[in-house]
Amino acid sequence: MKRSILRAAVLAFLIAFPALLPAWRTQMSYLVIMIVFSLTWDLLGGQMGYNSFGNVLFFGIGMYVCAVVQRDAHFSYPATLALGIAAGAAAAVAVAAILGSGILGLRGHYFAIGTLGLGIAAGELAAGWDFVGGGGGMVPPQYPGALGGRETFFYYLAAALAVATFFTLRWLYGGRFGLAVNAIRDDEDKAEAMGLWTTRYKTAAWCVSAFFLGIGGAIVGNVSGFIDPRETAFAGSTYGVWMVLMAILGGKGTLWGPVLGAVIFHITKELFWTYLLDWQQVALGFLIVVIVIFFPVGILGWAREKWPEKFGHRVEEAKPAEASG
Amino acid sequence: MENLRLLFDAPILTVQLLLDGILIGAIFALAAYGMMLVWGVLNIINVAQGELVMLGGYVAFFLFKAGINPLFGVPVAAALLFVVGWLLYRVVIFRIVDKDLFISILATFGLSILIQQLAKVAFSPDVRTPQAGFGTISMFGGAVTVTWIKIISFAAALTTGGVLVWFLRGTRMGQAIRATAQNARAARVMGIDTDRVYAWTFGVNAAICGASGALVAMTYLVDPYIGLPYTIRSFMIVIVAGLGNISAVLATAIGLGAAENISAFLFGAEYQIAFVYGLLVVILISRRIVLARQRRYLA
Amino acid sequence: MTPILEVTRVRKTFGGVVANRDVSLSVPEGKIYGLIGPNGSGKTTLFSSIVGTHPIDSGSIKFRGEEVSRLRVPQIARLGLLRTFQQTRIYGKMTCVQNLLISVPPAALSWRSMLARPSAAETKKAEDLLQFVGLHAKRHLRAGDLSFGQQKLLELAMALMSEPRMLLLDEPTAGINPTLINDLIDRLRRINAELGITLLVIEHNMRVVMGLAQYIYCLAHGELLAEGEPAAVKSDKRVIEAYLGAH
């Protein structure tokens, strides 16, 4: 009951936001995209125990594919945008499926290193490919609506994406999919010994991640209004690192943890980032080391250890035999 | 693809490419051997491996700036980086030794960002090329040219590798490291201070990375971002060569060096890093197929 | 009676060490067989070979008439041949119920089921099995928080949830509270009799294996040393010598 009130409040806030704080719409768009980043990273990193350092690849693919469709398809603006978003998501999923069926058959640490260079390699390739503007990047088409309408429009798209990501993952975690990826995290050898199609689940998980990231990329390309191969699309050293940090900070392997982590990180970052100047990325590396070593369970993970009953881990009196069969 | 035809028209070019590849390969082998050592002894895959290489490169650069031949950077970088490695162990790494690989990969990933960005702040993001001088030699009537520094680097890399092998086989600490690699618990029971062994191992790893970085800086260049490719190369070499086989490491590293040079020639040098990452993915996938056929697992 | 598991001249070496030397054994469907032998005699290695953890050097392993020695672990598991581990393997951060719910029979794990929720029947079956092994009260605790013996029981319940045709049990009574061992033996008999699951049991506790198994194979130094009815094996001089440590 309490939870549904909270959920309704969050939804109402997201819907009313552009009216409440119109100056912060773009800022808020980035915040909800951060939530998408951190949730999709956590699907593999937290729920499945597979560190991916290359998830930004799917974000960039979605962004570029969408921009190319918007540039080359000559329908109305909303139609090309919808087509672009769909194509971006499809391309990201396809790449995840192909890559994943190959390297996800390996154990976690091989996968982790295997993904280290994905974002950077894609950035290099994009920067050298004239079809997508090369190093000069791309500019998505102008939003046709009224001045300021663009911010509101893409804010709602981004917020809808974040909400959809959240509820999809919540739904997935509640079923066999969630059980399977958790089993893979806890003991993959055992999962195989029990006959689970582990590679299938792992690849599917990566595809789900890629799907939402691809859409996210398509949206952010339009929000930022300019696509740089290394700075906006395949931004491994910013988005790619942030998603890891946010998920761990909030509590990997939990549903609300990544959301919390993204909100805290983004707000803190926006408040203090400008004061750090050159030291921004240094602070980022430092934070990762400190959090991973001293606070690996994250905020919600810590809460779960502290109050396990609140998370449903409790001893129950045995029911009488006849009651339970 | 016109470059491919060029290779067929002038086969001597292939010799040039292979030679350059072999000479750089020995330098790759050093960092790879260090990664193998740390992986085998501490059970940590050090993602910050390349950043240690990068720091070694800056040692050579600053010696060069001070008017000293950067070749001296090899022993100096090794000594300095040993200290860096030791400190890294005492401050960070010892906390993750007994944790699972998930934690250690994330923590060393954070370290790699930290070191890279510190280097950017401290040394500026500019590309640096310490020159050792020495000139070039020509072969086949000038069709193949090799800079002396590459040959010297190759020799220096082999020497460093030789010193390392001697250290591991001939000294008490080296033997303790090898014993710990085989069975840390047994080593502890036998009275080996494994904590000290770990610190030494990480220090030695950093030292050889440092030496390799100094060589890299002299033969190519150094900037704060060269690290990650070296981590990837090291990892690739180790999984192809297998843990614990030093001659296989050297052979694989040389093969990688040659492959990279040829690809850089064919596809353009700007794609060299993308090639390295692409190759890693290809290797991982093909390894998985081979192991599946043999009913084995890449654990 | 046709054997459900037929191991023929299986050989497995690690480096130069021969862990299994031409071991042959067969287990008829619906029986409880025992596998004994001193430490290091190659029992667990044989289990690992059977379920596909590592490749064998030579020989043949047939499960229900099908050659499985070239299949991989999950494929063999899906045929209905499961093992439990000496050092338990459970999903430590998941609750006991969740551990069981993901251990459903492989037939229920099709593509479509990836998105399914556990059905009421599955949940009931999971709770019943937890009741069966005596862990019902702890079903919402994290499996990693259970004691070693309880994890052992949980692992057994997980195996049963998956409805295998045959179970290889690696020292099921090790780490179990001695006062509960008789209970466990009784449960294993019921598993065999009521669910029709064939059992092959590695056991160090002689009293347990002699009472439980209908037929016993004894390994020593990687070779099959003796086989026969419990009483015969028990009095076999070679077996006694092997256990008393002639070597």
**Which residue is closest to C70 within chain B, CA to CA?**
B295
Residue type at C160? L
Yes or no, beta carbons of C89 and A193 under 8 Å apart: yes
Residue pair A110/B236 in contact by the 8 Å Cβ criterion: no
The total of other beta-carbon atoms located within 10 Å of residue B166's CB is 11
Using the Cβ of C117 and the Cβ atoms of chain A, whether some distance falls under 8 Å is answered with yes
Cβ-proximal residues to B122 (8 Å cutoff; 6+ apart), any chain: none
A108 contacts in chain B (CB < 8 Å): 101-102
Rounded to whole angstroms, the maximal C-alpha distance in chain A is 73
pLDDT in tens, A207-245: 999 999 999 999 999 998 899 998 889 988 889 889 999
Angle of CA points C130, C132, C133, to nearest 5°? 70
Work out the minimum CA distance from C27 to partner chain B, whole angstroms. 24
| Residue C58 β-bridge partners | C11
Class of domain C1-80+164-247: alpha beta
**Which residue is closest to B296 within chain C, CA to CA?**
C54
Work out the minimum CA distance from C179 to partner chain B, whole angstroms. 34
* Residue ranges in chain B whose pLDDT is less than 50: 298-299
Work out the minimum CA distance from A164 to partner chain C, whole angstroms. 16
Domains of chain A: 17-309 (1.10.3470)
Using the Cβ of A203 and the Cβ atoms of chain B, whether some distance falls under 8 Å is answered with no
A191 contacts in chain B (CB < 8 Å): none
3-state secondary structure of C21: strand
Using the Cβ of B299 and the Cβ atoms of chain A, whether some distance falls under 8 Å is answered with yes
Nearest alpha-carbon partner for A174 in C101, C127, C91? C101
Work out the minimum CA distance from B293 to partner chain C, whole angstroms. 9
Q: For residue C90, name the pLDDT band (cuts at 50, 70, 90).
A: very high
Determine the pLDDT at residue B299: 41
Determine the pLDDT at residue C207: 84
Work out the minimum CA distance from B108 to partner chain C, whole angstroms. 25
The total of other beta-carbon atoms located within 10 Å of residue B289's CB is 11
Alpha helices in chain C (DSSP H): 43-51, 73-78, 96-101, 120-133, 148-161, 178-195, 206-212, 230-235, 237-244
Q: Which two tokens stand for residue C113?
A: 């089921």
Write the CA distances from A44 to A40, A50, A266, B86, C141, integer angstroms.
Answer: 7, 5, 21, 33, 24
Nearest alpha-carbon partner for C52 in C31, C37, C67? C67
3-state secondary structure of B132: coil
Residues 164-223 of C with CB under 8 A from A: none
Q: Is the pLDDT of residue C34 over 70?
A: yes
pLDDT in tens, B268-277: 877 888 888 8
Q: Residue C83: which of A186, A193, A324 has the nearest Cβ? A: A193
Residues 88-107 of C with CB under 8 A from A: 89-95, 98, 101-104, 106
Residue pair B108/B195 in contact by the 8 Å Cβ criterion: no
Domains of chain B: 2-293 (1.10.3470)
Nearest alpha-carbon partner for A109 in C68, C185, C124, B43? B43
- Alpha carbon distance A26, B119 (integer Å): 33
C123 contacts in chain A (CB < 8 Å): none
Neighbours of B, requiring at least 3 CB pairs below 8 Å, are A, C
**Which residue is closest to A192 within chain B, CA to CA?**
B297
Burial (CB count within 10 angstroms: exposed 0-12, middle 13-18, buried 19+), residue A294 = exposed
Using the Cβ of B110 and the Cβ atoms of chain A, whether some distance falls under 8 Å is answered with yes
Nearest alpha-carbon partner for B109 in A320, A115, C116, C213? A115
% of chain B surpassing 70 pLDDT: 95
Q: Which two tokens stand for residue C114?
A: 């990836």
| Residue C82 β-bridge partners | C167
Determine the pLDDT at residue B133: 72
B116 contacts in chain A (CB < 8 Å): 281, 285
- Alpha carbon distance C8, C61 (integer Å): 6
- Alpha carbon distance A270, B269 (integer Å): 38
Work out the minimum CA distance from A107 to partner chain B, whole angstroms. 6
Using the Cβ of C123 and the Cβ atoms of chain A, whether some distance falls under 8 Å is answered with no
Write the CA distances from C72 to A195, B158, C51, integer angstroms.
Answer: 10, 42, 8
Using the Cβ of A74 and the Cβ atoms of chain C, whether some distance falls under 8 Å is answered with no
Yes or no, beta carbons of B110 and A282 under 8 Å apart: no
Determine the pLDDT at residue C245: 62
Q: Residue for token digits 């605790």?
A: C141
Residue pair B142/B156 in contact by the 8 Å Cβ criterion: no
Average pLDDT of the residues in A101-119: 84
Domain ranges for chain C, please list them. Answer: 1-80+164-247, 92-163
Q: What is the mean pLDDT of chain A?
A: 88
Lowest mean per-residue pLDDT among A63-67, A275-279, B251-255: A275-279
pLDDT in tens, B87-124: 999 999 999 988 888 889 989 999 999 999 999 999 98
Nearest alpha-carbon partner for B195 in B41, B44, B46? B41
Give the residue, B207 or A1, on which the prediction is more confident: B207
- Alpha carbon distance C132, C32 (integer Å): 19
Q: Which two tokens stand for residue A14?
A: 């997201």
Dihedral sign, CA of C145, C150, C155, C159? Answer: negative
Q: Residue A120: which of B47, B268, B277 has the nearest Cβ? A: B277
Q: Is the pLDDT of residue C246 over 90?
A: no
